Amino acid sequence: MRNAGSHAAVKVARVFGIPVFVHASWLVIFFLVAWTLATGYFPERHPDLSRTAYWARGLVTSLLFFVSILLHELGHSIVALRSGIAIRSITLFIFGGVARLEKDPPDGRTELRMAAAGPAVSLVLAGLFLGAGMLARPGGTVWAVAHYLALINVVVAVFNLVPAFPLDGGRLLRGALWKSMGKARATRVAARAGTLFAYFLMASGVLSVPKPISVYGCFPASGAPTLASVLVEPGTCRLNVVCCAVYET
Ligand SMILES: [Zn+2]
The per-residue pLDDT for range 67-119, each reduced to its tens digit, is 999 999 999 999 999 999 998 888 888 777 888 888 888 999 999 999 999 99
Give the CA diameter of the chain: 60
Report the separation in Å between the CA atom of 182 and the middle of ligand 1, taken as the mean of its atom positions: 23
164 three-class SS:
coil
167-to-44, 61, 129, 155, 159 alpha-carbon distances in Å:
33, 25, 24, 14, 8
Alpha helices in 96-219 (DSSP H): 108-135, 141-160, 168-181, 183-207
Q: Is 102 a known active-site residue?
A: no
Report the separation in Å between the CA atom of 54 and the middle of ligand 1, taken as the mean of its atom positions: 30
pLDDT at residue 210 above 90? no
Tell me if 141 sits within 8 A of 220, measured CB to CB. no
The mean pLDDT value of the chain amounts to 79
242 three-class SS:
coil
Report the separation in Å between the CA atom of 168 and the middle of ligand 1, taken as the mean of its atom positions: 5
Q: Which tens digit of pLDDT belongs to each residue from 24-70? A: 888 988 888 898 889 888 998 899 999 999 999 999 999 999 999 99
Whole-prediction pTM? 0.82
Per the omega criterion (within 30 degrees of 0), is the bond before 105 cis? no
Report the separation in Å between the CA atom of 163 and the middle of ligand 1, taken as the mean of its atom positions: 12
Report the separation in Å between the CA atom of 210 and the middle of ligand 1, taken as the mean of its atom positions: 29
Q: Which of 44, 73, 233, 248 is catalytic?
A: 73
- Distance in angstroms (rounded) separating the CA atoms of residues 135 and 124: 17
Report the separation in Å between the CA atom of 137 and the middle of ligand 1, taken as the mean of its atom positions: 32
Q: Is 137 exposed, middle or buried (CB count within 10 Å of its CB: 0-12, 13-18, 19+)? A: exposed
